[in-house]
Amino acid sequence: MSASARNIIAWVLQVLLGLAFIASGVHKFMDLPGTVSMFSSMGLPGALAYVVAGAEVLGGIGLLIPRFTRLAAAGLVIIMIGAVVMHATKIPGGLAGGVPAIALLALLLVLIVLRRPAPLAV
């Protein structure tokens, strides 16, 4: 794949994923009592709802800033692994309901690969 095609694909992914995570985090903040209740019902501390919502918003913004893209994606991978585990173990519907989380996780991993530093020429 050419460097320009790789760059275009990476930018498209960055923008789409960034907007998706910003929207998800804002949605969690807008219904904070419901989000805290949902986390508590899964046996998680309610304060974790604040952390996850904030991480999603900040991670989404970070995906849009080239200097922070890989770091933001890595942090969001951790959040999405947690979401997949929760879908598999605690949330009714199991992994079938976690397909969006699995898809976002996979796309974040693709983005990390696309944005890896170019090897040094010798």
Q: Note the pLDDT tens digit of each residue in 102-115.
A: 999 999 999 999 99
Q: What pLDDT is stored for residue 121 in this prediction?
A: 65
**pTM of this prediction exceeds 0.75:** yes
Taking all residues of the chain, what is their mean pLDDT, rounded to a whole number?
92
pLDDT at 2: 82
CA distance 68 to 71: 5
H helix runs in 1-122, sequence order: 3-30, 32-41, 47-63, 69-89, 94-97, 99-114
pLDDT < 70: residue spans in the chain:
120-122
pLDDT at 56: 97
Domain-by-domain residue ranges, the chain? 3-114
